[in-house]
Amino acid sequence: MPVLLRVRHRRRLRAEAERRVEEVISWCAALAAEARAGLPPYRALVAAGPAGLGPRASEVLDAARIGDGVPEALRRLAGEPGAEGLGAAAACWRVALDSGSSLADGLDRVADTLRAERDRRADLRAELAGPRTTAVVLAGLPPVGLALGSLMGAAPVDVLLHTAVGRICLAAGCLLEGLGLAWAAAIVRSAERGGAAGAGPALRGGVR
């Protein structure tokens, strides 16, 4: 049960992070549209609204209204899961103010990079679906074998629970089963972390 709860918790966190990524993409696109329409950066940010900035959106909007501290506020929000793209948006903002380059073009590149990363993660999950399914099937084989043995009258459960050799085999089987599942989960997590590790360089490249 604790394992299932942890799995559900991780899935919920991942879903929330993915939803936040979509919100950040939409916010970057909305801010770029306002900037391209001719509004100054601070007014464009206020016009784009809080959608995509999360529950701490007021920090960014307040900074925009007073005309100072927007990059710092965006970087603080970028520390939240799924909001990493706001760090790249902060860099775009700083570059636009310091050099006079187009804020809209920079934000468009950030949004495009975030979309590409989102699609890459989706492809990675699709590729990992096979190994996950294989692990689940292999984990289910021992109970199926016990059920078949019982139907054939071999009484494998009695042997495992009421004989010394059976208890040794049961303990060894449970240990190996747990190690196998842990190994499969570690492989999947390693692949997912490897896919996520490419997001940082890609985002940094998107603001150039």
Instruction: Supply the range of the domain harboring residue 11.
Output: 2-116
129 and 110 in a common domain? no
pLDDT tens for the 208 residues of the chain, in order: 455 567 677 788 888 888 999 999 999 999 999 999 988 888 888 888 888 888 888 888 888 888 788 899 999 999 888 899 999 999 999 998 888 788 899 999 999 999 998 888 888 878 877 777 877 787 788 888 888 888 888 888 888 888 999 899 989 988 888 888 788 778 777 776 665 555 555 555 545 5
- Residue 65 belongs to a domain: yes
- Residue 186 belongs to a domain: yes
107 and 20 in a common domain? yes
In the chain, the number of structural domains is 2
Contact in structure between 63 and 75 (CB atoms under 8 Å) = no
54 and 34 in a common domain? yes
- Residue 145 belongs to a domain: yes
45 and 141 in a common domain? no
pLDDT at 2: 58
83 and 136 in a common domain? no
Helix (H, G, I), strand (E, B) or coil at 90: helix
**Of 76, 91, 116, which residue constitutes the final position of a domain?**
116
- Residue 161 belongs to a domain: yes
Q: What is the DSSP letter of 51?
A: T
Q: DSSP E strands: which ranges in the chain? A: none
